[in-house]
Structure 1
Amino acid sequence: AAPAGGGVATASTATPRCTTADLEVLLGKPAEKNDAPGQYDIPLTYRNTTDHTCGLYGVPGVDLVGPDEPTFGPVYHLPRVDNGVKYNEVTAGTTASATITVVKPAAGEPAWTPAKLNTIPPGSTRALSAAWPPDLPVLRQDAATHPGSYVNGILADPS
């Protein structure tokens, strides 16, 4: 059940999971991290567009899609960091968010600017898309063992 004054509560496994058809995705404004210059956090917000409550928890799949990069191709599959809530209910019309963290290339490093983001909500198989900010190039780290670009787990949005 939803807490008083809010739309998001801890879910149980009995709450049906949100599907791609239940959601719309919104990409927030990038913000440079204070403790890591050149690294940016971008809110990835899922809104429940239905008239029922559904469970949204886990780590979404996120692919950045852009020009064909000679070494890695046109798609950058972001690694997932499972640091979200265990269960989460999203009531009708409310949201839950994950954060995408990316590294912006330094001067002289290869710049790659995605055109869009495709995301598959946890428990779903179909993707939602959002336009990528045209002024935020990304340093491709597809083969890195400790990349600075990744997607975090879903958290309940504040009421």
Structure 2
Amino acid sequence: MNVRFVAALCSAVTAGLLAGCSTTESPTATPAGTAAVPTSDSAQAAPQSAAGRCHTADLRIAVDTTGQTPKPGQQATVFLTMENTSKQACTLYGYPGVHLTNTNKQLDVADWDLPRATYKDPVEKKIAPGESASTAINCILADEKSNQSTLFVPRDIQITPPDETTSATVRWPYAGLSYDGGATHPGTYVFPVGVTP
């Protein structure tokens, strides 16, 4: 057998064996229970907190009447308080839902869901047990000169904390409101929790 042919054959066999023993680096695996963090802006839409969200059942919600009494016939700010009655801290972030029920039969409007003051950015509000957070309603309180056809007289007010579906019903302690629902620039709206007007 030709010596050169044998040498070439051995070289080819050796190369094949080496190729068969080569390895491909596998992609790095994500540890169990660890999710990849998205890099889009939506990942930072809401702040993260160790405390859980406040639930309606853990809050004592009321209209704050301890401050200055709003004057009828003028633009007024009505404050709402949300006290944490649970045994652990919780957080509130965003706008509460505010629903009013009308008792004035001369106004052909039964219910009023207040719009949001969207020019104010929400902030995360962490409240410890026994502490309270506040929010506010901007409104126009009616007076004796108010037109009855635009007078909205609430019997009570239903408040839904941010991200909750259950409401708390509390008494509305003031006079009627000048109804401006559907207006292009309404004077009645609700602020985010923890944000002052």
Instruction: Report the TM range for the smaller structure's normalisation.
Output: 0.7 to 0.9
Higher alpha-carbon deviation: 17-26 or 84-93: 84-93
Identity %: 28
Choose between structure 1 and 2: higher helix proportion.
2
Query: Is 1:97 equivalent to 2:167 in the alignment?
Result: no
1:76 corresponds in structure 2 to 112
The equivalences for 1:4-23 within 5 A come to 12-23=48-59
RCO higher in structure (CA 8 A, sep ≥6): 1
CA distance in 2, matches of 1:120, 1:130: 11
2:152 corresponds in structure 1 to 112
- Closer, same or farther in 2 for the Cα pair 1:140/1:69, shift >3 Å? farther
1:50 corresponds in structure 2 to 86
SS in 1 for 2:60: strand
TM-score (norm 1): 0.79
SS in 1 for 2:133: strand
- Closer, same or farther in 2 for the Cα pair 1:79/1:118, shift >3 Å? same
TM-score (norm 2): 0.65
2:185 corresponds in structure 1 to 146
How far the C-alpha of 1:24 sits from its partner, in A, is 1.2
- Closer, same or farther in 2 for the Cα pair 1:120/1:46, shift >3 Å? same
How far the C-alpha of 1:31 sits from its partner, in A, is 2.6
- Closer, same or farther in 2 for the Cα pair 1:38/1:156, shift >3 Å? closer
Aligned partner of 1:27 among 41, 63, 66: 63
CA distance in 2, matches of 1:118, 1:80: 15
CA distance in 1, matches of 2:130, 2:79: 18
How many residues are paired up? 143
SS in 1 for 2:136: strand
Question: 5+ residue gaps in structure 2?
Answer: 1-46
How far the C-alpha of 1:85 sits from its partner, in A, is 4.2
Question: 5+ residue gaps in structure 1?
Answer: 1-10
Per-residue displacement from partner, 1:1-25 (whole Å, max 9, x unpaired)?
xxxxxxxxxx733421101111110
Larger radius of gyration: 2
- Closer, same or farther in 2 for the Cα pair 1:84/1:25, shift >3 Å? farther
CA distance in 2, matches of 1:72, 1:127: 24
SS in 2 for 1:21: helix
Choose between structure 1 and 2: higher strand proportion.
1
Q: Does the Cα contact within 8 Å between 2:79 and 2:134 map onto a contact in 1? A: yes
CA distance in 2, matches of 1:156, 1:85: 7
How far the C-alpha of 1:108 sits from its partner, in A, is 4.1
SS in 1 for 2:83: strand
CA RMSD of aligned residues (A): 2.4
CA distance in 1, matches of 2:146, 2:104: 19
SS in 1 for 2:100: strand
Higher alpha-carbon deviation: 16-25 or 77-86: 77-86
